[in-house]
Amino acid sequence: MPLHVIATAKQVMDPESPPSAYRVDREAKRVVPHPATKIPPVINGFDENGIEAALRIKDAVKDAKVTILAAGPSFSMDVMKKALAMGADEMVLVQDPALDNVADSTVTAKVLAAAVRKIGPFDLIISGRQASDWDNAQVPLGLAELLGVACVPVTRKVEVKDREVVCERILADGYEVVSAALPAVVTVSNELGQPRYPTLRNIMAAARKQPTIWKLADLGLAPADLAPRLLVMDLYIPEKTSQCELIKGENEEDSGRLLALKLREAKFI
């Protein structure tokens, strides 16, 4: 049996969008991209690091299969197929209008857990440490609990040796080397390194691959399973009023000098 690695991926609004690209539908309590910007969505950056981690394992152990798993109300196939073009073997999309604007991470974790069970046996699940929209950092941890497997969060290196996953978990002042028996869930951070670029060969192969698409009903989930317990009461764009005093001297050196004098005058130094 090849080693089976599942990498989760969330489609998100491009976090590099300028603040002006954000609009809030306050009634629906959701963020909507500004219609004029037309910035395409992306795969969450940390999830791309996770896909890279999965592909590195595949490179190292040779006999491995990487499945991409995502859940959402709808997907841009151009965006999601990047994961296949990077070198993943298969992709499962749980696509259902009921997954629109889900703010409760527990609900997402339940959906992914049901999808993982339907996919079948797995050895390792790799996710990004958090998504760039709600920054909850909850879904993979909840997924580990629901599947009853070990969990190693926020790592920068992931290797599989002798039915164990060995990771470097990032700490504020260094790192620790942590191991867990498979199956397990691991989350990765950007320190893992840049995700690889799709090769032409993989792009061609990805174009021919059809993702498996499931509805929630295919996973045997009842609406009651999906009732959120984290409720969004309000969502708005915070007002930012600038109070910045720009220091302008005769030239740039003079500005630097005046800045120092200003800080002293205001008693900040």
Footprint of other proteins on 1-40 (CB under 8 A) = 13, 15, 19, 22, 24, 31
Q: Using CB under 8 A as the criterion, what x/- string covers residues 141-170 for binding other proteins?
A: xx-xxx--xxxxxx-x---------x---x
178 belongs to the binding site for other proteins (CB under 8 A): yes
The three-class DSSP label of residue 44 is coil
- Under 8 Å CB-to-CB from 174, ≥6 apart: which residues? none
264 belongs to the binding site for other proteins (CB under 8 A): yes
**How many residues make contact with other proteins (CB under 8 A)?**
85
Q: Got the DSSP string for 83-100?
A: HHHHT-SEEEEEE-GGGT
Which of 37, 95, 189, 202 is in the footprint of other proteins by CB under 8 A? 189
In whole angstroms, the minimum distance from the beta carbon of 129 to other proteins comes to: 7
Q: What letter represents residue 242's amino acid? A: S
Helix axes 45-61, 77-86, angle to 10 degrees: 30
Residue 31: DSSP 8-state: E
d(CA 119, CA 8): 13
In whole angstroms, the minimum distance from the beta carbon of 104 to other proteins comes to: 6
Contacting other proteins within 82-111 (CB under 8 A): 103-106, 109
In whole angstroms, the minimum distance from the beta carbon of 205 to other proteins comes to: 29
The three-class DSSP label of residue 113 is helix
The three-class DSSP label of residue 54 is helix
d(CA 154, CA 15): 20
Contacting other proteins within 228-257 (CB under 8 A): 228-238, 240, 242-248, 251-257
Q: Using CB under 8 A as the criterion, what x/- string covers residues 207-226 for binding other proteins?
A: --------------------
